[in-house]
Amino acid sequence: MASQIEYVVLDKSFGIKEVFPIFEKSLTETELIACGAFRGLNPVNSSIPSSSIDFLISANEFLEDARRYTYFLSPSKYTTEKLSSAFGVDQLGKMDIMLEEGYPRNDYLYNFDKKDVERIKEEIGIPKDKKVLLYAPTWRDNSYKLGAGYSHSFAIDFDRLQEEIGDEYVILFRSHYFIKSDDLPEIEGFIYNVSQHSDVNELYVISDVLITDYSSVFFDYANLNRPMIFHMYDYDSYGSEIRGFYI
């Protein structure tokens, strides 16, 4: 089967073996197109202890994968610089594979219409007279608990928030897919847990404001030219102990 595959598009920052564990060795003549996740951590030159990111593939595996990439998509010159460094493309002297053509997933953010917005809101059950805040925080490396996985630590008083803005707004809560905890905020008629919604682009286009922290969702949402709030309650520890920043 693998020998018949002409193109493979990698849309996550995991390695080839994680995506195709069975066919990894047989993809020798397949064109590999990478779409790297743009994050605060530089996986190749990171000073973060390996124990805190042991679920990720090693820097050597990033380099091994990069040797096999045919193309690497990037949305901008700035992102090209960061992605080529993080995934080892510059180290391998393969800068010619970087294509600054944007991400296909962002096309929808320019092509949706009013009917799409009305349909999505109706499917989720959002009142037509309410504005929408999309709260989409990322996960933390140090939030892992044995037997429970990763969890969120919320520094928001949602009950008070409902008192302050509940007459005008509803909140869509979008958890990171690493978070397996069921202990997520949900207040009937105010907070809607949309973590299982299949297409995050649909959540973007129905939202009037994005609230996030260090998640890369803001790069995509910025295409809509709408307000964003960065709720970085643990800024110092995240920057110095957990991950670090590109920006």
Please tell me the pTM assigned to this model: 0.78
- Tell me what pLDDT residue 21 has: 54
Percent of the chain scoring above 70 in pLDDT:
74
Percent of the chain scoring above 90 in pLDDT:
39
- Tell me what pLDDT residue 77 has: 92
Per-residue pLDDT reduced to its tens digit, 105-131: 899 999 999 999 999 999 999 998 999
- Tell me what pLDDT residue 28 has: 52
How many other β-carbons are positioned within 10 Å of the β-carbon of residue 36? 24
SS (H, E, C) the chain: CHHHCCEEEECCCCCHHHHCCCCHHHCCCCEEEECCCCCCCCCCCCCCCHHHHCCCCCHHHHHHHHHHCCEEEECCHHHHHHHHHHCCCCCCCCHHHEEECCCHHHCHHHHCCHHHHHHHHHHHCCCCCCEEEEECCCCCHHHEECCCEECCCCCCCHHHHHHHHCCCEEEEECCCCCECCCCCCCCCCCEEECCCCCCHHHHHHHCCEEEECCCCHHHHHHHHCCCEEECCCCHHHHHHHHCCCCC
**Mean pLDDT, the chain, integer:** 80
Calpha distance 228→225 (Å, rounded): 9
Per-residue pLDDT reduced to its tens digit, 128-183: 899 999 999 987 877 777 777 777 777 888 999 999 999 999 999 998 877 776 66
Q: Which residue has the higher pLDDT, 88 or 191?
A: 191
